[in-house]
Structure 1
């Protein structure tokens, strides 16, 4: 490139940067993964309040969930958002072009609901769509981004879940999501922005995760979660298969969202519920429950409120964990923590037989950087147990139920001088190639 052409090129780039600046989302929110409750998987689009007043999408439902969150320890455990999903609005905008809540099901309007949440020390989330209509056919935000953002801010909304249905052309998705992000920030109110941008682009091309990270506080990548083991494992597998792409962009302020926790519903066994909870914590996923907090069983409540798992989820380092190994029907997942240690999950993916033993040697799961020379090992799931200080070559026999997970916390022990024998053993281990180490 000649000097004159290069100068012209730099001028054009400078002009384009001035016109189209890249501004990272900087709303100070979601510095750790979002925690709360979201209605969709459990209550879906049930709008028949005459036939089913206890479970229909109405202000009564959200107020009762808020009451339960305060009364039953959810708020104290860290769950703070009560989120409305699709099917809340009237079928038509008002005379000024503003969204309005269905007057029969939300007689006090959304502002009343937001005020109620705030009086409980909670926050309110709401749902809208980037396209012409929501997925259930209610008014979308296309052409109304500024108006809708200002409306949500005036109502006192704290989170927006922005879906991606009914966009006339998929190439408009990115612009729509960016425009709503700008509109939310212009309101001056702190509104957490939950996007479904990549979910709707994957069918056409690989999404631009740098732009998504600069726009959203978290983003959905894969299909809606159902109350089934196959749905949970499908999401887990998708995440693992794409981890090299999606993990590097996650961190404080922006997270990959594998969708809702369905713990406490009908489709998952006890072991499968523990697996979802453990892996969502390892994956630094938002913990948005979709269940009935008014009637949840005590075991599910204890699991969802487990302070040790929540501490892993909310670790301030903000590093998303990854799948490190697949062997003999087991999967090993790891997440680095701010303590210098690791959260380690061993999942038994077999769906037949009984408990199987997984021989865990710390050296073989690549934790030596954190545990040189020793680690204190604590089992979090399936029950809490202190396993004591282990060195790199100690062998732990983990018993893992079919579809279950053993979740461990590995905390480094301050280095001590090692014996000559330990040093020789360590050097022999490092001299082996990776295949030999795995076979140890």
Structure 2
């Protein structure tokens, strides 16, 4: 019976391989599943829970991600790693969830995750057994893919542990990894369900270069061995990735393994908090991952303190604030999809750069040494075009802006820290800075309390000629304040009636583009039916100091008309 089983397995593999197009190293053809057009973001259970993840833990994590802001920030995939299944398949050859850990099954768990607006992932391996000795998918690719699709799986992490040791490789485990992974790729495609395909392997140990062929097989691939939550582990992965930018892009990404931010468990089953990243190192991790266009997959305990159990080290509010930095996430998720590269790496002082879709450049000054250091570069070295009026440097962690008139980009960077700038050429054709006076009230468009930080509310206030009341229109549609360092924009970029307007770093987005019209209205360039308006229509309440300004459906009211002085 065992011989017959092996024979049937070999026949099955041979038939499945016939339909696989030949893959060659260095293939530039992208996987055509139209998924992961930006780096995937989410959570994986392994680094904190190892084989101890359960249905309850996954549901608590789901609840936290939905309520904490992580889901809304873009973290969407929750993946349970190895050990989720029984040691044997059922009589029909199907994978069976461990009934003690997942008493309601994985289809129900996927439904729960989906109900919170998130997506669900599982783990498997293109070998006879997974890393922890559970049934692998080798020879069962289509059956397992169909099972995953029927459960509502959205993400598959595909490992290769036991095949990394030549002494353990038997039979079809000796097939090239590219071929075995390609078999699962095709099986997933045949299910018709969109499932992000992630290759988790040990390239150095296995003599593989998945970045050279990964994009034709998967949506993301590991570039080195497992990392722990230490700073040394982070530095190793960063330097391993710096020469692999040409292989990444929309639909396929170099993977730095799970993020260590907030992970108090040094490795699965351990709880050594001395090995965790410092706050500055955590900011470095997210900054560099953003510039390198790496998937943002947390390995931390993402549950509330009250729910903390086996790990005992729930994420802190400070750790969470790192994950939720929307400006850094915007760099990571930039639609251009170009991985960043090194400008310079000398003595542990690194300058990295990533071109962005709107023409800006993300520049990371990364200090991997144990002492504060000044790190400097120039706009030209970072690849920005020459610009006679200089550059705006928006610090994405400090939320401050400065102007570099000569193109110098420099900062004193703390030990283990990173200063991440979004650098943009200053406009070369800016009109005079004027005050804008509301026809309804005679009060001026005003940035609250002379504040310059992103998100500062815009209101009307008695005219006083201050810098926070002077606005300059540029030829490209910006309304700039504070000598051109900040732009007026719709909150969160949402152009809809009733959305407040705020101060933002200039990013050329549609929510920051305005048109001054002959009838004294100011409309959104992309939606001319939306006007800049004093809230409260023309009521007395809408004509007092401190009344907020918003975008509103144009109606010809006096609160939607502005004169310049």
User: What is the TM-score when the length of structure 1 is the normalising length?
Assistant: 0.82
Q: Does 1:271 align with 2:290?
A: no
CA RMSD of aligned residues (A): 2.1
Distance 2:77 2:361 in 1: 28
Deviation by residue 1:85-111 (Cα, 9 ceiling, x = unmatched): 111111111111011110111011110
Quick check: 1:30–1:254 contact (8 Å CA) kept in 2? Answer: yes
Distance 1:149 1:38 in 2: 20
Larger Rg belongs to: 2
The answer for the alignment partner of 1:102 in structure 2 is 98
Distance 1:395 1:24 in 2: 38
Matches within 5 A, 1:27-426: 27-46=33-52, 57-167=53-163, 168=169, 169-196=173-200, 199-200=202-203, 202-203=204-205, 205=207, 207=209, 209-240=211-242, 243=243, 246-266=244-264, 267-294=276-303, 295-351=314-370, 353=371, 355-363=372-380, 365-369=381-385, 374-381=390-397, 383-388=398-403, 390-391=404-405, 393-395=406-408, 397-415=410-428
Q: Which runs of 5+ in 1 are unaligned?
A: 1-16, 47-56, 418-440
Q: 1:83 to 1:258 in 2, by over 3 A?
A: same
Q: 1:359 to 1:175 in 2, by over 3 A?
A: closer
Quick check: 1:103–1:109 contact (8 Å CA) kept in 2? Answer: yes
Deviation by residue 1:329-350 (Cα, 9 ceiling, x = unmatched): 3100101100111100011121
SS in 2 for 1:124: strand
Q: 1:332 to 1:296 in 2, by over 3 A?
A: same
Which structure dedicates a bigger proportion of its chain to helix?
Answer: 1
Distance 2:429 2:377 in 1: 23
Quick check: 2:154–2:194 contact (8 Å CA) kept in 1? Answer: yes
Distance 1:371 1:218 in 2: 37
Distance 1:371 1:255 in 2: 32
How far did residue 20 of structure 1 move?
Answer: 3.3
Deviation by residue 1:105-147 (Cα, 9 ceiling, x = unmatched): 1011110001111111110010001111111111111111111
How far did residue 27 of structure 1 move?
Answer: 1.1
Distance 1:191 1:328 in 2: 42
Q: 1:164 to 1:19 in 2, by over 3 A?
A: closer
Q: Which runs of 5+ in 2 are unaligned?
A: 1-17, 24-28, 164-168, 265-275, 304-313, 431-565
User: What is the TM-score when the length of structure 2 is the normalising length?
Assistant: 0.64
Q: What is the aligned residue count?
A: 379
Q: Which runs of 4+ in 1 moved over 6 A?
A: none
Quick check: 2:113–2:120 contact (8 Å CA) kept in 1? Answer: yes
Q: 1:173 to 1:359 in 2, by over 3 A?
A: closer
How far did residue 299 of structure 1 move?
Answer: 1.0
Distance 2:207 2:346 in 1: 32
Deviation by residue 1:168-206 (Cα, 9 ceiling, x = unmatched): 245431211000000000001111100135x34x44545
- Greater relative contact order structure (CA < 8 Å, 6+ sep): 1
